[in-house]
Copies of this chain bind each other. A is one copy, B any other.
Amino acid sequence: MPDLESFARDIRSWLEDNVPASMRTPMKSEKDICWGGRDFVFQSEDQKAWLDKAAAKGWTVPDWPKEYGGGGLGPEETKILRAEMKRMGVRTPLTSFGISMLGPALLKFGTEEQKQRFLPPIARGEIRWCQGYSEPGAGSDLAGLATRAEDKGDHYLVNGQKVWTSYADQADWIFCLVRTSKESKHGGISFLLFDMASEGVSTRPIKLISGLSPFCETFFDDVKVPKDQLVHKENEGWTVAKYLLGHEREMISGMGLGGGAGSSLMSEAIPDADPILAADLARFDVDALAFQAMSEAFIDKLKAGEAHPAEPSMMKYAGTELNKRRHELVMQGGGSDALEWESERSKGGAKPRDWLRTKGNSIEGGTSEIQLGIIAKHILQLPGA
């Protein structure tokens, strides 16, 4: 494929010419992630410069159409671009839920007007989005949501509460599931977009057991949402939500891979005196490497359009359980050192905080129990209780 080869060469030379040197070093912490948005504080000039250059080229979202701010690249080209960036150690110019979640939903369900209005600011990192799905009391039963949106002619009046909204306190807009009808559980849900600066919206960070607060509670008190900010049809928001849930699950199962679940622990120091831990690590390595192969196979299946729609559930389940196990082993290997919570030596308790954070992996994005139920029903076709 000579075209793709010359494409790769072009990419390389463009990247070499345009990516600031500091944007070709590994990220040191979460703070180095560029989320964009109205209030985003860039860590450096270079971070901003790299975002702007990438956005101008459409490479923050290389596979979106050019007319919506994307790079207009095909799947093979996108793959090459990502591979080259990875090879050269280039940081991702922009990370956001707008890119990973809302974008795909709008591309599939949005009107032409909505696409033109919302996608380019996402691609340029101007608007940061958050997701309003979960509600207190609903938990795994996502469709049991109660936040209501009343039809007031030209707008909806939204009242209710969301929970587990990631970074809602830093987001500009929200994509949100609301109840527009009580007649049917799944059939009465709509998918709304609105500005977090709207009157009546407030947020409160949730402190996690890790001591960090990546999530919020979000409250809606008579929030007015213009009707043209409804995505897809009224009462058919569940269709959009399901589509996005699939995406989220794939992303999380992918995270399991990239985030370490798929890599072995061979390099971890094993205390000589603990052959039991050594045995557990050996078994973990087998499972991690096997899951790495599974991830590769899954992605190839996805690409070929051969994956069963319920397979991401297995990936999500297996990946997150593996990641939890990984961190249990890291803690055991670390002994009492790994229990330190605040010291500089322990990087502010990075090990125990990360470990505690992983416990949420098998809860968020659908619990492990939910995933197993989906597999049992849709793949194994076991009968209902």
A residues neighboring B (CB under 8 Å): 275-276, 278-280, 282-283, 385
Can you offer 10 A-B residue contacts whose CB atoms are under 8 A?
A275-B275, A275-B278, A275-B279, A276-B279, A276-B282, A276-B283, A278-B279, A279-B279, A279-B280, A385-B385
Give the number of copies in the complex.
2
Alpha-carbon separation in the docked complex, A278 to B280 (Å): 12
Apart from A279-B280, A385-B385: 8 A-B pairs, beta carbons within 8 A: A275-B275, A275-B278, A275-B279, A276-B279, A276-B282, A276-B283, A278-B279, A279-B279
Complex Cα spacing A165 to B359, Å: 48
| CA gap between A385 and B280 in the complex, in Å | 37
Q: How far is the CB of A237 from chain B (nearest CB, A)?
A: 30
Please report the C-alpha to C-alpha distance between residue A385 and residue B279 in the assembled complex, in whole angstroms: 40
**Whole-angstrom CA separation of A275 from B275 in the bound complex:** 7
A368 CB to nearest B CB, Å: 19
Q: How far is the CA of A63 from the CA of B23 in the complex (A)?
A: 85
Write out the residue numbers on chain B whose beta carbons fall within 8 Å of the beta carbon of A385: 385
Contacts of A283 in B (CB 8 A): 276
In angstroms, how far is the closest chain B Cβ from the Cβ of A333? 15
A279: chain B residues at CB < 8 Å are 275-276, 278-280
| In the complex, chain B residues whose CB is within 8 Å of the CB of A278 | 275, 279
Separation of A282 and B278 alpha carbons in the complex (Å): 13
What separation, in Å, do the CA atoms of A54 and B104 have in the docked complex?
A: 84
Closest chain-B Cβ to A85's Cβ sits at a distance in Å of 40
Max chain B C-beta neighbours (<10 A), residue from A276, A283, A385:
A276
Would you give the shortest CB distance from A272 to chain B, in whole angstroms? 12
A357 to B275, CA, bound (A): 32
Chain B's closest residue to A276 (CB) is: B279
Residues of B within 8 A of A276 (CB): 279, 282-283
- A288 to B318 CA separation, bound complex (whole angstroms): 30
Query: How far is it, in angstroms, between the C-alpha of A282 and the C-alpha of B280 when the chains are bound?
Result: 13
CB distance from A232 to the nearest CB of B (A): 35
Q: Which residues of B contact A282 (CB under 8 A)?
A: 276
In the complex the two chains form, what is the Cα distance from A385 to B384 in whole Å?
12
Residue of B nearest to A274 (CB): B279
In the docked arrangement, what's the CA distance between A282 and B282, Å? Answer: 17
Which 5 residue pairs are nearest across A and B when measured between Cβ atoms? A279-B279, A276-B279, A275-B275, A275-B279, A385-B385
| Closest beta carbon of chain B to A283's beta carbon, Å | 7
User: How far is it, in angstroms, between the C-alpha of A282 and the C-alpha of B276 when the chains are bound?
Assistant: 8
Distance in Å: Cβ of A51 to nearest Cβ of chain B: 49
